[in-house]
Amino acid sequence: MDRAPLTLLVGLQAVVSAASLVVEIVAGRMLAPYVGMSLYTWTSVIAVVLAGFSAGHWWGGALAERPAQRALAATGWALLAAAVCTALAGGALRLAAGPVLAAEPAPVLGITALTLAAFFLPSFFAGVPAPVLTRVSLDSGGAQGRALGAMFAAGALGAIAGTLLAGFFFISWLGSSATLATVCVAYVLCALLCFRIARGLRPAPLLAAALALAAGGQSLFAPSPCTVESRYFCLTVSDVSADPERPARALILDHLVHGISARDLPRVMFTDHAAMLDALARLRAPSADFSSFHIGGGNYALPRAFADRGLTRIAVAEIDPEVTRLATRQFWFDPAGATIYHEDARRALARLDTRYDVIVGDAFTDTAVPQHLVTKEFFALVQQRLTPGGTYLMNVIDYADRLEAVGSLVATLREVFPVVEVWTEARRPAPGARVVMVIVAGDAETPQDSLIAPSPDRTQYAALARGFVDRIAARGTLLSDDYAPIDRLVGARD
C-alpha cells in the first residue's frame, strides 16, 4: 500500500463524521411516531449514539494497532456494516417498537431501549474509522502534530456539516428514509475508498458493497408512518368515519392525536380539550363577536368552528406550514377565515402589537407544552396582549395521582393573573389516569362552575374546587425562562 495523502484521509474522516451525525438527527425524527419528540427522546438519542461512537472508537483503536493495510481493510468492512445497519434501522425500529414499549412501559427506559435497538449498531460501526484514519494520517509523511489536528478538526467540521444538512435540508426535502439511503451510499463510497487505499478493490468487498447499496435502496420503499413529514413533525391523517358518506378524520402529530374534525359538523368538537376550549371561550368572551389568538393550529378545529359561527377576527400562530396545508386539504379548514402566522407563538405575540379578547394555548411537544410557553415571562406577555377583561385558556395534560404540572402552571399563572381556574370532565378519574384539563386565567371568575358541551357526545365539564386548586398550587414549582422543567413535571410515575 502507498502512503495515502493527508487530504484524502481528512476528507474521509469528515464524510464519515457528517454521515454519522445525520443518522443521529434522523433518529429523533424516526422515533417520534412511536414515543414522541420530547426531552426524553433527544436525551436517549444522544446518549445511545455517543455510547455507540465510544464503543466503535475503542474497537477502532484496537484495529489501528494492526499494519496499516489490514487496519484500513477492516475499516472498510466496518463502514459496509455501518451502511447495512443504517439502512435497516427503520425496519428494526418498526419491529422493536411494539415488544419493547409493551415490555417497558416506563417512558425513560422504554425510549432508551427502543433507541438502542435501532441506532446503537449504526453508531458503533460509524465510530470505528476515526482511530484508524488518524493513525494512518500520522504515517502519511507530514508533521504529525498538524496531521493530528487536521483529523480532529475534520471530525468536528464533519459533525457540524452533518447536523446542518440533516436539520435544514435532508429531512425536510428528502424525508427520513431517503436520508438514511443517502447516508448508506456515503458509507459504501467511503468503504470502497478504504479498500482501494489498502490493497485495491477485490471481488469480495465489491460484492459486499453491492449488497449494502441494495439494503439502502430497500429503505426507500419501506412504509412510512407519516402522511407528511415536515421540518417539525411526522403528520398522519387517520380516517375515523362511522359513515363513509359523512367523513371524519384525526390528525396525529408524531404519536399523539391533536384533533378530530367532521366535514359536516364544523361546530362539534371531538376531544375533551377542544370542547372545553370552545365552550369556555364563548362563555367568557366579552361580546358575541370576540377576537381570538390561537397558539398552535393542530387540525384547526377550533378556528374552523369560530369562523363557522361568523367570527372574523381570528389569528393563529402555527409554527409548521405543513400543518396548515394539511388542515386545508384534509380537515375542511378555509385559511381565508383567519390570519395565520407561521412562526413561534411567543415570537408572534412579542412582535404583534394587537390585543385579543381570548388567547387559546394549545401547543404541545409530545405530552408537554413547550417550555418557553409555560413561564412567568410568557404569561406576562399573554396578559399584555389581552383586552381588558380578556381570558387566557390553556390546554394541559397531567396525571391524576400527581398534578405537579397543573399545580406549577397554576402557581405561575397566579403571579400574573388574579383569577386562575382548572376545568376538566366532571367525573372522578381512575387512579394514575392521564387527565385532560383546561386552565382559565383572567381578571374575573367564570360566571358558572360547570357546563355541558358536545365532544361529540354531550359531556359535563366543571371547574375544580378552589381549595383543591390551592393545595396543588402550593406544591407547584414557579416556572421561569431560567427554570421550567415541564417535561419532568408531566412525566408519568415509573
Q: Which of 318, 277, 315, 325 is nearest to 297 (CA)?
A: 318
DSSP states of 401-466:
TT-HHHHHHHHHHTTT-SEEEEEEESSPPPTT-EEEEEEEEESS--S-SEEEEESSSEEEEEEPPH
> Residues in the chain, how many?
494
Q: Does a structural domain hold residue 362?
A: yes
Do 63 and 187 lie in one domain? The reply is yes
Q: How far is CA 366 from CA 1, 33, 41, 255, 369, in A?
A: 53, 10, 10, 8, 8
Do 184 and 326 lie in one domain? The reply is no
Q: Does a structural domain hold residue 405?
A: yes
Out of 170, 192, 225, a domain closes at 225
Out of 163, 190, 225, a domain closes at 225
Do 374 and 258 lie in one domain? The reply is yes
The three cell numbers of residue 257 are 392525536
Do 332 and 403 lie in one domain? The reply is yes
Do 185 and 255 lie in one domain? The reply is no
Q: Does a structural domain hold residue 1?
A: no
Out of 225, 255, 287, a domain closes at 225
**One-letter amino acid of 172:** S
pLDDT in tens, the chain (494 residues): 556 788 899 999 999 999 999 999 999 888 888 887 777 888 999 999 999 999 999 999 999 999 989 999 999 999 999 999 999 898 889 888 888 888 866 678 888 999 999 999 999 999 999 999 999 988 766 678 888 899 999 999 999 999 999 988 888 788 888 899 999 999 999 999 999 888 776 777 778 778 877 877 777 677 777 888 888 888 999 999 988 899 999 999 888 888 999 999 999 999 999 999 999 999 999 999 999 999 999 999 999 999 999 999 999 999 999 999 999 999 999 999 999 999 999 999 999 999 999 999 998 876 678 899 999 999 999 999 999 999 999 999 999 888 999 999 999 999 999 999 999 999 988 888 889 999 999 999 999 999 999 999 999 999 999 999 999 999 999 999 999 998 888 865 44
Do 471 and 339 lie in one domain? The reply is yes
Do 449 and 482 lie in one domain? The reply is yes
CATH number at residue 315: 3.40.50.150
Q: Does a structural domain hold residue 363?
A: yes
Do 283 and 352 lie in one domain? The reply is yes
CA distance 209 to 311: 61
Do 339 and 482 lie in one domain? The reply is yes
CA distance 22 to 14: 12
Do 396 and 483 lie in one domain? The reply is yes
> pTM of the full predicted structure?
0.83
Give backbone dihedrals phi and psi of 433, rounded to 5 degrees, phi first: -70, 150
Q: Does a structural domain hold residue 41?
A: yes
Q: Does a structural domain hold residue 369?
A: yes
- pLDDT at site 441: 98
CB 405 within 8 A of CB 490: yes
Do 382 and 472 lie in one domain? The reply is yes
For 215, the domain range is: 6-225
CB 376 within 8 A of CB 46: no
CA distance 63 to 198: 14
Q: How far is CA 37 from CA 21, 48, 116, 349, 443, in A?
A: 18, 16, 16, 25, 35
- pLDDT at site 143: 76
Domain count for the chain, please give it.
2
Q: Does a structural domain hold residue 406?
A: yes
- pLDDT at site 234: 87
Do 368 and 444 lie in one domain? The reply is yes
Q: Does a structural domain hold residue 103?
A: yes
CATH number at residue 213: 1.20.1250
- pLDDT at site 187: 95
